[in-house]
Chains A and B, each alone.
Chain A
Amino acid sequence: MKNLLLLVLSLSLTLSLGMCLTLFPITSQAQDHEMGDMHSHKGHMHEQMVDGKALTVDADRFDKFVSDIAGDQIAVISVQGMVCDFCARGIEKTFGKDNTVTKIDVDLASGKVLLAYSPETEIDRAVIEKNILNNGLNATAIQVLGK
């Protein structure tokens, strides 16, 4: 009797879990993903934990961005309001004037801006945030890799 109850209980749990996975598939609105998904085989810089938090960025795009900038520091900026290419032009223009920035990538799909800085640069997050704000957008998170 006891074994029968245990069997019914385990079957019920299994059935419930299966229904949950079927009815509520795990999807992502944005194209960036948590570090548990390792799509890239080129390198694993994007796996790095930053400030105790997982780095959320499109792996393939990130790998492509860092492929020719060995040694540089990378700032990954999450931006709100960046829904229009025409409007995001100002970001590229603003950071392009900074001679410590060696490369810029604007990812509209994930709302991320990637900035590469020369290794000796002291990255000022407040300046980055201000530059984003001066373009009418909001920086909600700034993660720095590489130093």
Chain B
Amino acid sequence: MANSNADKDNIYWHYTPNINYSVGLDYQQDKISNKSFPSARFTYLLNRKNTATSQRNLYLSTGVGLDHSSNYFYALSGDWETRRVFAGFSAKQISGIGYDLFEQSIKLGVAPYLGDYGDLHTWLMVETKKNNFDDKLITYPVLRLFKGGALIEVGYHKKTDWDVHLMYRF
């Protein structure tokens, strides 16, 4: 998985031994402090609810630096989706990277069409973010596309520039 936005570039590889948790390695280039941080990450599925038409998830994530630095993060995130509608949230605290950052976000989306298994799937989304640096809400559109094991997500706001997320599932 790779992310790029106004605050950072990072590449993240993770392995999921079972549905309850995943472990991974993350390498981040922080654009605010101009520092690089390799870190280990752990994500735990706190709760999942499946129905015939929906799935709801709640995750707890945490990570620590691997370069003798004291950086770490912890986050709570969740989502609920059907084949047509998506709603997700995230609250993340990052420390030890030269500054402390607390970031919250909400994402809502709708699928303009329902593709079959193996088709190109499209989501039109809106994300709202807020952090402790800038106490204002930033809202911007996001386009999510995925086909097979590949996913790309692109968002843009004039203040925060492009926000790109790439993922491939092996």
- B-contacting residues of A (Cβ < 8 Å)? 29-30, 78, 80-81, 83-89, 105-109, 111, 133-138, 140
Interface, chain B (partner A; CB < 8 A): 18-19, 45, 48, 50-55, 81-83, 114-119, 121, 146-149, 151, 169
Query: Which of B82, B115, B119, B148 is the one whose CB lies under 8 Å from A83?
Result: B82
CB-based contact B54/A83 at 8 Å? yes
In the bound complex, CA of A108 to CA of B116 (Å): 6
A16 nearest CB across to chain B (Å) = 32
Q: Contacts of B169 on A, CB cut-off 8 Å?
A: 86, 89
Residue pair B149, A89 in contact (C-beta under 8 Å): yes
| New A-B contacts (5) at CB < 8 Å, excluding given A109-B114, A136-B48 | A83-B53, A83-B55, A85-B118, A107-B117, A108-B114
Out of A81, A85, A106, which one reaches B50, CB within 8 Å?
A: A81
Contact A83 B117 (CB under 8 A): no
Pair A85/B19 contact, Cβ less than 8 Å:
no
In the complex, A85→B121 CA distance in Å?
8
- Residue contact B114 to A135, C-beta cutoff 8 Å: no
CA distance in complex: A71, B115 (Å) = 31
Q: A133–B45 Cα gap in the complex (Å)?
A: 14
Closest chain A CB from B19 CB (angstroms) = 4
**Cβ contact within 8 Å between B52 and A85:** no
Q: CB within 8 A of B51: which of A30, A80, A136?
A: A80
Please judge, given known A-B contacts A89-B169, A134-B19, whether A106 and B51 are in contact too, CB under 8 Å. no
